[in-house]
A and B are shown apart, each in its own frame.
Chain A
Amino acid sequence: MQKVAKLARLRLTDDELERFTGQLADVLEHAADLQTLDLTDVEPMAHPVPLANVLRADEPGPALGRDEVLAAAPSAENGLFRVPPVLGEEP
């Protein structure tokens, strides 16, 4: 659970971890009943839309004004979004 919380960028207290682990275990236990089904030859359905090839023309669309957007930012500087030091390289 601790690893999962890290992956999700959540910081849980020991108490919360314990509580969540128990609650999630309940849900996952029910998920186990899915394993009893015979799913050979069943294709996974990522979404119920039978569409393919939804494309748009390579034309510019409505842009967002930088000032409007940066005004809503928690911290901005010289037209850029400002964040605390980013340690660690990009994956």
Chain B
Amino acid sequence: MSIDLDRWEIVIGLEVHTELSTRTKLFSGATNEFGGEPNTHIDALTLGLPGSLPVLNEQAVELAIRVGLALNCTVQRSVFARKNYFYPDQSKNYQISQFDLPINVEGYLELPDGTVAGIERAHLEEDTGKSTHIGGGGRIHDAQHSLVDYNRCGVPLLEIVGKPDLRSAEQARAFVAELRSILVAVGASDGKMEEGSLRVDCNVSVRLRGSDELGTRCEIKNINSLRSLGRAIEYEAARQVDLIDAGERVEQQTRHWNEDEGRTLKLRSKEGSDDYRYFPDPDLVAVDPSQEWIERVRAALPILPAARRHRLAERSGAPLEQTALIVERGLDDLCLATIEAGGDATRTITHAEHNLSDERARQLSPTAFAELVGMELDGQLSATQAKTVLAEMVVDGGRPADIAASHGFEAMDTSELEGIVDGLISSNPGEWQRFCDGDGKVTGFFVGKVMKATSGQADGKVVTALLNLRKSS
């Protein structure tokens, strides 16, 4: 179900809610913990008991500022507003959120491919409790009764609204992945989509390529993984294109992603939606972080993924795209240190990209790594040998020279090699003739024979070079 991308453009804006890693809830001292027996992380405000009052959690503000700065936002004076609607897991039947004046505005993040995606705002709000529907297979429409757990009610959330700058499912996935790594890097969230601490809603619209106007968008909910995000976007874009092609119009609505069936289903129409009657919460005062607080947070920010990619690209000369995987694996610091210790940049990067997928690779000693790369470039180790030695270093540590010796990997004497090559040339004149005539496939024959003769210790590239040398002489 793919659409003609020459004709159509997909426009995507994501809304990401993340639970903040605080000890207590946003407005009360009830504990913020995942799991646990139902209704054991509650207090008066969590349940909306008469007479209860909210008091803002300082750490939630700290984390909000951290994320805001990490997303290049302006941190501003903000006000809490009540979003009024009735639902049993909303214990006061209003949610304390931020409306006109959110704490963070106008930021951006950079995707690994270099695309800059805008962030409209990131604001604080309370999470709701959870209801389960009993009877009727757990489906809301056939339930006999519902049960409500308020453990999650009041947990601090940061709602991050991205601008509709994304143009493909891949970009959307990259956006979420990048956002998640930022959130984890600054310690604001554990970013676990499976556990619900990171929730993604997706706004999708389509338009004819070249058009400036935005098409009608639909909001898609119930996306629980990056894979679902990609699938949902592609399904929804195709659905909308089909509608338009059939002469119908796309209705603005909220749709539910059904993972099993692989499609989106209408939930409710957004036109004429609930009137939330937002107004400033009279129980709370404004939050106006001082410049001093903001600068303190800024100074303490760790180096973020985008900056890491750029730094590695600059210092290693590798193209930006190649650095993404390395940074994702958390190996950029290692690479930099290795290059610093004298390791060849290109070789280091290549190893990091292809041969260091094991988690333990982060513990590699940069000097040892640099030594290994050096041995490889000297010709002391073939590429294959180097890979083996490296793998062992990751698991057991140690010096590359020692490991090479223990494997019996020795520097192959070039004259010995030449002797073997010459011997093979004389004993295989037919194949040699074909090689000289330009038959590239025969190379493998000779290299294979050399490998056999040297028990795999010869460097294939060196052998090929020798063959070519002989050919031209």
Contact = CB atoms under 8 A, between A and B. Distances in A.
B24 A91 contact: no
B61 interface: yes
A58 B145 contact: no
Interface string A58-91: 1111111010011000000111111111111111
A27 interface: no
B282 A64 contact: no
Nearest to B62: A58
Interface string A27-46: 00000000000000000001
A51 to B, nearest CB: 4
Contacts of B243: none
A52 B287 contact: yes
A82 B135 CA distance: 13
B23 A55 contact: no
Interface string B188-229: 000000000000000000000000000000000000000000
A5 to B, nearest CB: 13
A55 B58 contact: yes
A64 B42 contact: yes
A9 interface: yes
A81 B145 contact: no
Contacts of B147: 77-78, 80-83
B285 A90 contact: no
Contact of B42 (A52, A58, A63): A63
B146 A86 contact: yes
A69 B39 CA distance: 9
Interface of B: 22-24, 28-31, 37-44, 46-47, 55-61, 77, 79, 85-90, 128, 131-133, 135, 140-141, 143-150, 256, 267-268, 273-277, 279-280, 282, 284-289
Contacts of B280: 46
A87 B29 CA distance: 32
B61 A69 contact: no
A7 B132 CA distance: 24
Contacts of B85: 91
Nearest to A51: B285
Contacts of A88: 140, 268
A84 B143 CA distance: 9
**In the complex, which of the residues A53, A79, A84, A88 has the most CB atoms of chain B within 10 Å of its own CB atom?**
A53
Interface of A: 7, 9, 46-47, 49, 51-64, 66, 69-70, 77-91
A9 B145 CA distance: 20
17 contacts: A9-B86, A46-B280, A47-B285, A58-B59, A61-B30, A63-B41, A66-B42, A80-B147, A80-B148, A80-B149, A81-B148, A82-B145, A83-B146, A85-B133, A85-B145, A87-B141, A89-B140
B223 to A, nearest CB: 15
A55 B61 contact: yes
Given A86-B140, A90-B128, A61 B43 contact: yes
Contact of B285 (A53, A56, A57, A66): A53
The 9 closest A-B pairs by CB, nearest first: A61-B29, A58-B59, A80-B147, A55-B58, A46-B280, A85-B143, A81-B148, A51-B285, A86-B146
Nearest to A81: B148
B145 A49 contact: no
A53 B287 contact: yes
A22 to B, nearest CB: 23
A81 B39 CA distance: 9
A83 B267 CA distance: 22
A54 B24 contact: no
Contacts of B268: 88-89
B24 A79 contact: no
Contacts of A53: 285-289
B55 to A, nearest CB: 5
A53 B56 CA distance: 8
Nearest to B274: A91
B23 A60 contact: yes
A52 B288 contact: yes
A7 B146 CA distance: 22
B271 to A, nearest CB: 14
B350 to A, nearest CB: 45
Contacts of A62: 29, 43
A83 to B, nearest CB: 5
A60 B67 CA distance: 24
Contacts of B285: 47, 49, 51-54
**In the complex, which of the residues A46, A58, A85 has the most CB atoms of chain B within 10 Å of its own CB atom?**
A58
A54 B284 CA distance: 8
